[in-house]
Amino acid sequence: MQSIWQYLSGAEKPVVIYGMGNGADRILAQMEARGITPSAFMASDEFVRGHSFRGFTVKKLSDIEAEYSDFIIIIAFGTNRPDVLERIYSLSEKYEVLVPDIPVCGDGLFDLEYAAQNAERIRETRELFADGFSKEVFNNLIRYKVSGRLEPLCATISPREEALALLDLKDDGSEVFLDFGAYDGDTAEEFTLITGGNFNKIYAFEPDFKNFCKLRRKHYMLPPDKLEAINAAVWDKDGEESFSQAGGRQSAVGSGRKIKTIKADTFCAQNKIKPTYIKFDVEGSEAAALSGAADILRRHKPKLSVSLYHRTEDLLELPALINKINGRYKMYLRRHEYIPAWDINLYCV
């Protein structure tokens, strides 16, 4: 495989960055560190109003096409909107489209050097997966992360409904769901639909206060004995941590005001909770949250859904961590449609 950055360093065609904001800034920083200079920035027609970004006039696709006969398009934003995905796929039929893999948290890249340095860990991680499709997804994710190409990325997609079926969530009133990183209550809503509303209880943890308020508004019809919303971060110890309140994917432990942290093992022991299902989607703090739930995973063996895409190291470290805590879990790797490689989940039963 050839690294996307090595490829762009030797590219003869103009390089056009599609998108603005944090994603474009981080991609531009990687390019500048390697002496790669973009030729232009572009945005969707509805967002182009004659403004500039990082010293470049932001142009429409038609402007770029009038200027260059052929060019490379770098996708610099994240989306799972069907209309935007279709636009990107249509562009890839006419032009070379690349999607750099930039982690949501942290600075390290899963590039060719990282893959070579971790070759043995890659082999060990692959063997943890319980089915052949998981191993195919894993292989294609590595190909994508190194190359930035759409083909291996698209080969990893499977429907969310199909993946959730692996968890075999019951509708007999027995399920106790710990929703770590509840956001606005979307997963709790999904869980309620799957179980037909016949579940024991949901404990929804959300540290970002704006999201926490959305969560309570969305589920105001559920009584406290069915859903308990908790404005706290799940961590490997009880106490306080700095937390940025960004209202979305940029919300994370590490900076900002202090917020309460809860260790899952302590919370469940004090409240005599025996969870049957836990979701870990905590914006880069998954390793800490899993470590703080080690006793639960060993004692109660709940079904798990764990995000593997926030940090570069997550794809290799989190499956190994779960296997170390409880080696009896069967692990299934699935990814749902998103550009770039977000929504990578490990389902454990």
Q: What is the 3-state secondary structure (H, E, C) of the chain?
A: CCCHHHHHHCCCCCEEEECCCHHHHHHHHHHHHCCCCCCEEECCHHHCCCCEECCEEEECHHHHHHHCCCCEEEECCCECCHHHHHHHHHHHHHCEEECCCCCCCCCCCCCHHHHHHCHHHHHHHHCCECCHHHHHHHHHHHHHHHHCEHHHHHCCECCHHHHHHHHCCCCCCCCEEEEECCCCCHHHHHHHHHCCCCCCEEEEECCCHHHHHHHHHHCCCCCCCCEEEECCEEECCCEEEEEECCCCCCCEECCCEEEEEEEHHHHHHHHCCCCCEEEECCCCCHHHHHHCCHHHHHHCCCEEEEECCCCCCHHHHHHHHHHHHCCCCCEEEEECCCECCCCEEEEEC
Predicted confidence (pLDDT) per residue in 156-191, tens digit = 999 999 999 999 999 999 999 999 999 999 999 999
Predicted confidence (pLDDT) per residue in 196-239, tens digit = 999 999 999 999 999 999 999 988 888 889 999 999 999 999 99
Predicted confidence (pLDDT) per residue in 241-287, tens digit = 887 666 554 455 555 678 999 999 999 999 999 999 999 999 999 99
Task: Give the pLDDT of residue 89.
Answer: 98
Confidence category of residue 46, pLDDT binned at 50, 70, 90: confident
Q: How does the average pLDDT of the chain come out, rounded? A: 94
| Domains assigned to the chain | 4-154 (3.40.50.720), 160-348 (3.40.50.150)
> Does residue 68 surpass a pLDDT of 90?
yes
